[in-house]
Copies of this chain bind each other. A is one copy, B any other.
């Protein structure tokens, strides 16, 4: 299914007149593989197999994805994490270690969709975050 994401991304790029580059592919790849990575983590992951990549390239690709509506940034304290699934779904953010995890609960999601309709303004996106302690150890 990560192939799907990649294929879709390649197509969308050409479709909109952008070029398909190995760096862009690698960034999407990293986003698929890693959980909710920061720009730094994406860089690290890519450099494990691709000689090196410049931060600007990563930020540029992230911007591109965001503008395409394929990516949402999640601010966690001072870090920005990225999520390749812009579909409506809530997150749980740990106040202790800052981990972001997806909440997969159909009931909550359907309530969320309702809320999106209830919004008194024209909203095209909704963000729901729960904060608490995930008590890791």
Q: Which residues of A line the B interface, CB within 8 A?
A: 75, 92, 103, 105, 107-108, 111-112, 114-116, 118-135
Q: In the complex, are the beta carbons of A120 and B105 less than 8 A apart?
A: yes
What B residues does A111 contact at CB under 8 A? 111, 114-115, 118
Chain A at the B interface: SS class: mixed
Q: Which of B112, B123, B135 contacts A92 (CB 8 A)?
A: B123
Number of this chain's copies in the complex: 2
In the docked arrangement, what's the CA distance between A135 and B92, Å? 31
CA distance A130 to B134 in the complex (A): 25
List, sorted by A's number, 22 A–B pairs whose CB atoms are closer than 8 Å.
A92-B119, A92-B123, A103-B121, A105-B118, A105-B120, A108-B118, A111-B114, A112-B115, A115-B128, A116-B130, A119-B130, A121-B130, A121-B132, A121-B134, A122-B132, A126-B130, A126-B131, A127-B127, A127-B128, A127-B130, A127-B131, A128-B128
A132 to B125, CA, bound (A): 7
